[in-house]
Each structure stands twice: as C-alpha cells, then as structure tokens.
C-alpha cells in the first residue's frame, strides 16, 4: 500500500508488532491485551479441533484484512490457516455520531456501556458471537469433497472470516464487560454446533452442512440473515458495536457472493447438461442425474429448506424483546437512517401477517413490537435479487423453470406460523396432508443421498466437479488453473 493511498485522517494503522493485529491501540490497553492474549491460544486450539478438518497444514491463498480502508483490508497471499492473522478491526469512528433511533435518539453515541443496558447488550453480542464459530463447525468436513481448489479456497476464506467475526465480538466482551465478558468469551469456544449437551444458541446453527449445495445455500440465505442482523447492530447507540459490525459487513458481502455464484454455477451446469443431452423437461430428474448434475426441482427443495430455517432466525415476528432493544437504542432496523419516520415509533404501526381463526390476516400492530417482522420482510426482499439472477440463467438457457420463495408461513418452527403446516403456496394443511406431501417441497432422503454420492473431491487446478460450472473470474484475478490451495 503506498502512503499516497492513505488520504483520510480516519485511516488507522494495524499494529503488526503485536501478536494480535488491531486498530484499537491494543498495545496501550494492557488489561485488554492480556485478556486477548490469554484467549488467543484457546481460540487456536478450538480452530485446530473444530476448524476445517484435514487442511491445517495446507497453504491457502487467502485474503487478510490489514486495515479498514479500501486498500488495506484485502491483502492476498498463501498462509496456513492456523497462522492466519485474526485481528480486531473497527470501522473508522464517525465524528459526532449520535444515537439514530429509540428513546435516546439524538444523544451522543455511547463509547462506554450504559449501566442500565449492560445485560441486554451482552446478550446481543453473545448471540451474534455464537453464530460465527458455529458455522465454521458446521462446515468443517466440506473440504474433503471440494468441487475445485477455487471453491475450497472460498470455503476457507469464509471460515477464517467467521473466525475473525468471533474475534470482533470477543473483543467487545473482553473490553467492556469485565469478568463476565471473559467468561462469555470462553463459553463461545465451548459450545458446539449440533452437540446434544451444549449446542449453539440458534436452531439453524445446529443443522448439518453435509454437502456443497448446502454450503452455497447457507452462504446465500443464512449469511444474509447475518447481514441483516449486522446491519441492525451497525445502527447501535453503543458505538464500538456499531463500528465492529460495520467492518464485519464488508466481509459478509463476500460470503453471500460465494453463495450466489455457487448456486448460479450449479444452475449453469445443470442447464448446459440439459441442453447438451436434449433434456427439455426440468422434472425429468433421472435424466439430469444420469449426467451427474443437480436437477432444478432439487435446487428448489433445498432452497425451501434453507429459506424456512433461516427465517426462523429472525425470532417471533411480534416481540417485546425486539421492542426493548430498539427503544433502548441498542439494535435498530435495516437501513434505519434512510427510513422516513420519527425513528422512535411510539405512535406508529406496522402490518404483520398473522394466522387467526383459520386464515392469514394482515394486522396493524404497534411498530415497536413488529421490529423482527419488519427485518424478516426486509430479508425476504433482499433474498429475491439473487433468485431473479438465478432465474435469468435458466431462462437464458431456454429452459422453462422458475425458482421462487415459499410462502412466509412455510415450514416454520418459530413465530406466528410455528403451529401450522403451510405449503409453499400458502395453503394450510392438516398433519396427514403435510406428511404425505412434505417431500414435494423439502429434500427427501434420496435427494440427500444423491448429493452425497456426487460430492467427489476435485483437486486438480482448473478442474471442476460434474455438477458445477467454472467461475467467470478467478479470485484476485488469477488464471483458471491457479493453485488456490497447496495440499499437503
């Protein structure tokens, strides 16, 4: 990075002399430094234990954040993952920032924790923090069946960045919450995805990620929940949380890119196979599978699963907890500053779809209580862009098939619709009907077995598995046969 590139006073250099790269002046904060240095070896133990299985010695062509400005945050080079420089990076401080919403709206943003909100904030940070290592754990065996070295490298990039997101939350816990913060930081390394006794905190983060289609669906749909949560926390009146999450969002964008292009390349390959072999009916599943590609109906069923499970992460649509967080100025709404209302919502309402007396009704509820519903609605809109682009790939190939989002009530375990069975079209079914038809809408055991069967590792540079097309461009503009991972 040339010194001319650093033009603004908000550029803060990372302290590379420290064990822990950071732009929070860790060297002069001895208590924090000691706490982080004590936690760091435990983190590395966790990474070696629960991180990518079988690749700890491989050289991986990874992006490392060495600063928060646009030139500094993406330095590429080979590194062994346990030696990755995980660090603490906050987005630049916004001078004179005020709390943008809630009952403290307009007051200066907090640089320290307000005593009355200590436990609420700790809960928010711990829940966010818990999702980060959880996804690394869920994805730890995927490397063994990578469809290419390009994809393997992208998986590992996502994994190390989720690790860094854990660091970001642990930094806040260690810096601002004293002893109980330190205990929470340890507990974040002790829970395990899918563990019966000490599971991760949220449902979707205890599901398996058994195959690469699941990984791409997860990074498109579930990392997008991460985006929505981070966007809400980026509004927080607690400024260090706002700054931490704003920087995390830059990394999150890559995770969703991996998901969108991953699914897009699968669709691309499926369409190629169909056209090459004269398969005109997308529902002629056997014909598509005979060529080792993934049929479009299966993609829809997988998407249905990931969408419905991820929607549950938003919590109950109508929630007094969410109202409390908003009112207190701790967690805002998506695009809070662009919304045209009083940002306090004392007298506003929001239309929530509910199931009452056997029918879906739209009911105006106090907007403060509908914060989760609104975020879920925003999320569903945000999901649509990639789905439209996937559909374009299909229609361009001349194939008559369209992917879509299921009804909001489909397959829900949390919130307004947790007690009913709704089809993707929004028809409400009795248990017997649901059980009889579930496999039309959600992956069935044969689907999952088929996916398992085609997950054969491809590790020759520039080569790809039978079910996925090559990417249009390489990482860091590398050539198609670049060796993104040097296996050991």
Of 136 and 454, nearer to Fe ion (C-beta) is 136
Report the nearest approach of Fe ion to the CB of residue 231 (Å): 13
Report the nearest approach of Fe ion to the CB of residue 335 (Å): 20
- Helix count and strand count (H, E) for the chain: 13, 7
Of 223 and 377, nearer to Fe ion (C-beta) is 223
Decide: is 239 part of the binding site for Fe ion (CB under 5 A): no
Q: Which residues contact 129 (CB under 8 A, 6 or more apart)?
A: 165, 166, 169, 170, 173, 184, 188
Report the nearest approach of Fe ion to the CB of residue 221 (Å): 11
Contacting residue, 175, 255, 306, 333, with Fe ion by CB under 5 A? 255
**Cβ proximity of 318 and 349 under 8 Å:** no
Report the nearest approach of Fe ion to the CB of residue 230 (Å): 8
Report the nearest approach of Fe ion to the CB of residue 309 (Å): 16
Report the nearest approach of Fe ion to the CB of residue 158 (Å): 6
Of 191 and 407, nearer to Fe ion (C-beta) is 191
Burial label, 373 (beta-carbon count in 10 A; 0-12, 13-18, 19+): buried
The site for Fe ion, by CB under 5 A, has a size of: 7
User: Using CA atoms, how far apart are residues 216 and 451, in angstroms rounded to an integer?
Assistant: 13
Of 142 and 422, nearer to Fe ion (C-beta) is 142
Of 255 and 412, nearer to Fe ion (C-beta) is 255
Interacting stretch for Fe ion, rule CB under 5 A, among 2-10, 155-163, 172-180, 238-246?
A: 155-163
Interacting stretch for Fe ion, rule CB under 5 A, among 159-167, 187-195, 300-308, 418-426?
A: 159-167
Report the nearest approach of Fe ion to the CB of residue 252 (Å): 5
Report the nearest approach of Fe ion to the CB of residue 249 (Å): 9
Of 132 and 416, nearer to Fe ion (C-beta) is 132
Interacting stretch for Fe ion, rule CB under 5 A, among 3-11, 158-166, 203-211, 265-273?
A: 158-166
Contacting residue, 151, 207, 211, 223, with Fe ion by CB under 5 A? 223
**Cβ proximity of 199 and 138 under 8 Å:** no
Interacting stretch for Fe ion, rule CB under 5 A, among 67-75, 157-165, 334-342, 380-388?
A: 157-165
User: Using CA atoms, how far apart are residues 288 and 405, in angstroms rounded to an integer?
Assistant: 23
User: Using CA atoms, how far apart are residues 273 and 73, in angstroms rounded to an integer?
Assistant: 39
Provide Rg for the chain, Cα atoms.
23
3-class SS of residue 256 = helix
CA distances from 62 to 153, 157, 254, 259, 473 (A): 7, 6, 13, 18, 16
Binding mask 114-133 for Fe ion (x = CB under 5 A): ------------------x-
Of 254 and 390, nearer to Fe ion (C-beta) is 254
Report the nearest approach of Fe ion to the CB of residue 256 (Å): 8
Q: Where in 267-306 is the site for Fe ion (CB under 5 A)?
A: none
Alpha helices in 144-238 (DSSP H): 149-176, 178-187, 212-217, 223-234
Q: Where in 161-220 is the site for Fe ion (CB under 5 A)?
A: 162, 165
**Cβ proximity of 107 and 99 under 8 Å:** yes
Burial label, 474 (beta-carbon count in 10 A; 0-12, 13-18, 19+): middle
User: Using CA atoms, how far apart are residues 393 and 386, in angstroms rounded to an integer?
Assistant: 11
Give contact residues for Fe ion (rule: CB under 5 A): 132, 162, 165, 223, 226, 252, 255
């Amino acid at each position: 990075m040339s010194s001319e590139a650093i033009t603004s006073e908000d550029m803060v250099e990372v302290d590379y002399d420290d064990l822990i790269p950071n732009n929070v002046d860790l060297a002069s904060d001895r208590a924090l430094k000691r706490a982080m240095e004590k936690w760091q070896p435990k983190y590395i133990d966790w990474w070696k234990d629960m991180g990518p299985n079988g690749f700890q010695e491989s050289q991986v062509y990874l992006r490392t954040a060495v600063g928060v400005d646009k030139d500094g945050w993406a330095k590429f080079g080979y590194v062994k993952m346990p030696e990755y420089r995980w660090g603490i990076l906050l987005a630049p401080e916004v001078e004179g920032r005020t709390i943008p919403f809630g009952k403290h709206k307009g007051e200066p943003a907090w640089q320290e924790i307000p005593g009355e909100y200590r436990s609420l904030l700790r809960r928010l940070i711990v829940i966010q923090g818990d999702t980060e290592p959880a996804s690394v754990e869920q994805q730890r065996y995927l490397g063994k069946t990578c469809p290419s070295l390009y994809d393997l490298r992208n998986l590992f990039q996502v994994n190390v960045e989720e690790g860094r997101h854990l660091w970001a939350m642990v930094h806040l816990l260690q810096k601002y919450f004293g002893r109980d913060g330190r205990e929470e930081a340890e507990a974040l390394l002790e829970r395990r995805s899918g563990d019966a006794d000490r599971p991760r905190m949220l449902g979707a983060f205890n599901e398996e990620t058994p195959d690469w289609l699941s990984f791409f669906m997860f990074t498109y749909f579930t990392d997008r929940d991460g985006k929505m949560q981070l966007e809400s926390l980026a509004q927080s009146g607690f400024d260090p949380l706002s700054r931490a999450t704003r920087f995390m969002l830059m990394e999150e964008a890559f995770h969703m890119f991996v998901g969108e292009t991953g699914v897009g390349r699968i669709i691309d390959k499926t369409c190629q196979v169909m056209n090459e072999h004269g398969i005109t009916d997308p529902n002629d599943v056997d014909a598509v599978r005979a060529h080792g590609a993934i049929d479009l109906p299966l993609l829809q069923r997988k998407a249905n699963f990931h969408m419905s499970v991820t929607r549950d992460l938003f919590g109950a649509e109508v929630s007094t907890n969410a109202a409390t967080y908003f009112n207190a100025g701790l967690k805002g709404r998506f695009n809070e500053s662009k919304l045209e209302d009083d940002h306090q919502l004392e007298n506003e309402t929001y239309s929530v779809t509910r199931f009452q007396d056997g029918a879906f009704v739209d009911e105006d509820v106090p907007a403060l209580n509908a914060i989760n519903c609104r975020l879920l609605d925003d999320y569903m809109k945000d999901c649509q862009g990639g789905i439209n682009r996937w559909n374009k790939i299909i229609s361009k190939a001349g194939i008559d098939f369209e992917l879509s989002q299921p009804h909001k009530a489909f397959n829900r375990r949390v919130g307004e619709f947790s007690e009913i069975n709704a089809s993707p079209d929004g028809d409400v079914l009795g248990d017997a009907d649901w059980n009889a038809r579930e496999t039309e809408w959600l992956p069935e055991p044969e689907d999952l077995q088929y996916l398992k069967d085609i997950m054969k590792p491809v590790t020759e540079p520039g080569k790809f598995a039978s079910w996925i097309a090559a990417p249009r461009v390489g990482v860091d503009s590398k050539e198609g046969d670049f060796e993104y991972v040097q296996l050991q």
